[in-house]
């Protein structure tokens, strides 16, 4: 008889287990708390969207649309795509649900899985997770500065202390058109020094060449025209106010002439936040303004700005520094007849807002149960056996100090909560 096939995760996808899942949840909760301080509310969009949403929104010539999307036909022949990024779905939701009639600007954040078919590597997966936020309906530069302030507040809650803000303006469509022509004129005589991807981009979107990671091409670009020299007056003034407001808020930044971001919908302000902890690939997140996106999707000319954080890389970077919250109390029955007491005690603790886990499987020897509780990182254990049942008590033991005491069952949960002071 042939052995049954053992299934594995699909290449580029993974399970999040135990501590890793806890870290993801912790980062998400910190993000929710930070973003809501600024008046953002959560929005959840479907994993599957009409393929044309990304073709029109992200750009047909982009790497995402050209090479990385998971696209398929459904049973009625409609072309659908697993969402590769979050901004276009938010823009679609804004139009579909007439959010233009809401008080403006609309501030939303989102988090969840996204999908791109690319080579898996450290911190990069084909199913990956993003945290993002969008401000739709405010064309002014003050929203740009506030969004960056919110991001840095969030990252500071994750104990980053080595952050650098890279900032640039890609201007309005007319600015980019002028600049692309100047960049083509500079690079065309040097076409032979460009790789195949950059030669293709020279025809389709020369701005993307500025984002090259090839050392020889980066050296070649040192003499290229600067994008900021092609900005019109309105774009220059917008960028100047963003810089001024960041300085007023005490936020350090550097202007990076090569920073263009990877999607076609960006206008004016673009940014990246990086950390020295990440080495060569040091960007934690990126984003920017997209004043033409909603119009491109068939709506009115509504401005917007947003960002996306790669949560997988973020959690991987923080895995050694995040303090995980584990249930502080483990309730252990001493003997098989006391499991009902353990269950009841655990419920009483939870009623008092004390996190508790009860050992309700087949009871193990007390020493083994104590070893397991110690390995689980619990601060406290509660022991209940026949003696305690007869005396109307339960034993509270601190795994930090080793001290233990018998506490009456009546008022037990309140007494435990009162003793759970932080350790010095």
The answer to whether residues 345 and 372 belong to one domain is yes
Can you tell me the mean pLDDT for 32-58? 95
User: What secondary structure letter does DSSP report for 131?
Assistant: E
Residue 86: inside a domain, yes or no? yes
CA distances (Å), origin 299, targets 49, 96, 121, 263, 294: 17, 10, 38, 19, 5
The answer to whether residues 251 and 380 belong to one domain is no
Helices (H), 16-158: 18-36, 51-57, 63, 87-96, 141-157
Would you say residue 422 has pLDDT above 70? no
- Residue count (the chain): 424
Compute the CA torsion angle 93, 97, 101, 102 (nearest 10 deg): -70
Residue 6: inside a domain, yes or no? no
- Predicted confidence (pLDDT) per residue in 329-354, tens digit: 999 998 777 888 999 999 999 999 88
Among residues 166, 412, 199, the alpha carbon closest in space to that of 282 is found at: 166
Give the rounded distance of the alpha carbon of 318 from its chain centre.
Answer: 13
In sequence order, what are the residues at sequence separation of 6 or more whose Cβ sits closer than 8 angstroms to the Cβ of residue 228?
A: 168, 169, 236, 239, 255, 257
| Amino acid 7: pLDDT | 93
| Amino acid 424: pLDDT | 41
Q: Which of the listed residues 283, 318, 353 is the one where a domain comes to its end?
A: 318
Q: What is the CATH number of the domain that holds 408?
A: 3.40.50.800
Would you say residue 1 has pLDDT above 80? no
| Amino acid 10: pLDDT | 93
Give the rounded distance of the alpha carbon of 295 from its chain centre.
Answer: 27
- Predicted confidence (pLDDT) per residue in 3-18, tens digit: 788 999 999 999 999 8
The answer to whether residues 263 and 348 belong to one domain is no
Residue 117: inside a domain, yes or no? yes
The answer to whether residues 166 and 247 belong to one domain is yes
Record the pTM: 0.82
Q: Which of the listed residues 268, 290, 318 is the one where a domain comes to its end?
A: 318
Residue 184: inside a domain, yes or no? no
| Amino acid 419: pLDDT | 85
How confident is residue 421, by pLDDT bands cut at 50, 70 and 90?
low
The answer to whether residues 314 and 335 belong to one domain is no
Residue 186: inside a domain, yes or no? no
The answer to whether residues 312 and 389 belong to one domain is no
Q: What's the mean per-residue pLDDT of the chain?
A: 88
Q: What is the CATH number of the domain that holds 128?
A: 3.30.930.10
| Amino acid 405: pLDDT | 94
The answer to whether residues 50 and 136 belong to one domain is yes
The answer to whether residues 360 and 393 belong to one domain is yes
> d(Cα 131, Cα 312) in Å, to the nearest integer?
10
The answer to whether residues 67 and 116 belong to one domain is yes
Burial grade of 258 (CB within 10 A; 0-12, 13-18, 19 or more): middle
Would you say residue 241 has pLDDT above 70? yes
Q: Which of the listed residues 268, 283, 318 is the one where a domain comes to its end?
A: 318
Residue 220: inside a domain, yes or no? no
pLDDT over 90 percentage in the chain: 52
> d(Cα 168, Cα 175) in Å, to the nearest integer?
13
Residue 179: inside a domain, yes or no? no
In sequence order, what are the residues at sequence separation of 6 or more whose Cβ sits closer than 8 angstroms to the Cβ of residue 138?
A: 104, 105, 303, 305
How confident is residue 423, by pLDDT bands cut at 50, 70 and 90?
very low
Please tell me which of 271-275, 358-362, 369-373 the model is most confident about, judged by mean pLDDT: 271-275
Of the listed ranges 116-125, 150-159, 230-239, 415-424, the least confidently predicted one is 415-424
Would you say residue 98 has pLDDT above 70? yes
Segments forming the whole domain that contains residue 373: 329-419
CA pseudo-torsion sign 16, 9, 309, 273: positive
DSSP 288-354: EE-TTHHHHTTS----EEEEEEEHHHHHHHHTTT------SEEEEEESGGGHHHHHHHHHHHHHTT-
User: Phi and psi at residue 81, in whole multiples of 5°?
Assistant: -140, 135
- Predicted confidence (pLDDT) per residue in 290-338, tens digit: 998 999 899 999 999 999 999 998 888 886 666 666 668 999 998 777 8
The answer to whether residues 252 and 112 belong to one domain is yes
Can you tell me the mean pLDDT for 173-177? 87
The answer to whether residues 342 and 241 belong to one domain is no
Residue 125: inside a domain, yes or no? yes
- Predicted confidence (pLDDT) per residue in 180-193, tens digit: 899 899 998 888 88
| Amino acid 193: pLDDT | 87
Work out whether strand 106-115 and strand 127-136 pair parallel, antiparallel, or are unpaired: antiparallel
SS3 9: coil
The number of domains in the chain is 2
For residues 275 and 284, is the Cβ–Cβ distance under 8 A?
yes
| Amino acid 265: pLDDT | 74
The answer to whether residues 405 and 352 belong to one domain is yes
């Amino acid at each position: 008889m042939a052995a049954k096939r053992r299934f594995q995760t699909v290449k580029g996808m993974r399970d999040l287990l135990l501590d890793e899942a806890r870290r993801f949840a912790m980062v998400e909760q910190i993000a929710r708390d930070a973003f809501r301080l600024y008046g953002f509310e959560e929005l959840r969009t479907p994993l599957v969207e009409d393929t044309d949403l990304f073709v029109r929104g992200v750009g047909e010539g982009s790497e995402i649309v050209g090479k990385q999307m998971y696209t398929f036909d459904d049973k009625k022949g409609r072309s659908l795509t697993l969402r590769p990024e979050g901004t276009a779905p938010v823009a679609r939701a804004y139009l579909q649900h007439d959010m233009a009639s809401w008080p403006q600007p609309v501030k939303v954040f989102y988090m969840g899985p996204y999908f791109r078919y690319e080579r898996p590597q450290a911190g990069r997966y084909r199913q990956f997770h993003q945290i993002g936020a969008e401000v739709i309906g405010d064309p002014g530069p003050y929203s740009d500065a506030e969004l960056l302030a919110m991001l840095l507040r969030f990252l500071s809650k994750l104990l980053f202390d080595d952050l650098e803000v890279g900032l640039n303006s890609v201007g309005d469509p007319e600015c980019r058109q002028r600049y692309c022509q100047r960049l083509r004129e500079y690079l065309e005589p040097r076409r032979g020094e460009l790789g195949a991807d950059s030669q293709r981009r020279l025809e389709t979107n020369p701005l993307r060449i500025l984002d090259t990671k090839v050392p020889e091409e980066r050296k070649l670009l040192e003499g290229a025209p600067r994008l900021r020299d092609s900005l019109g007056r309105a774009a220059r003034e917008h960028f100047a106010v963003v810089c001024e407001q960041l300085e007023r808020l005490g936020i350090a930044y550097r202007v990076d002439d090569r920073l263009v971001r990877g999607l076609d919908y960006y206008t004016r302000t673009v940014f990246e936040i990086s950390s020295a902890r990440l080495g060569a690939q040091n960007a934690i997140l990126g984003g920017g303004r997209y004043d033409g996106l909603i119009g491109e999707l068939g709506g009115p000319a509504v401005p917007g700005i947003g960002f996306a954080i790669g949560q997988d890389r973020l959690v991987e970077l923080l895995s050694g520094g995040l303090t995980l919250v584990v249930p502080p109390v483990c309730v252990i029955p001493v003997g098989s007849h006391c499991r009902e007491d353990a269950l009841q005690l655990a419920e009483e603790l939870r009623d008092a807002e004390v996190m508790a886990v009860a050992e309700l499987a087949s009871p193990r020897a007390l020493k083994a149960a104590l070893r397991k509780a110690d390995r689980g990182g619990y601060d406290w254990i509660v022991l209940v056996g026949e003696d305690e049942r007869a005396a109307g008590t339960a034993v509270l033991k601190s795994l930090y100090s080793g001290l233990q005491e018998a506490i009456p069952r009546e008022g037990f949960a309140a007494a435990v909560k009162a003793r759970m002071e932080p350790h010095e």
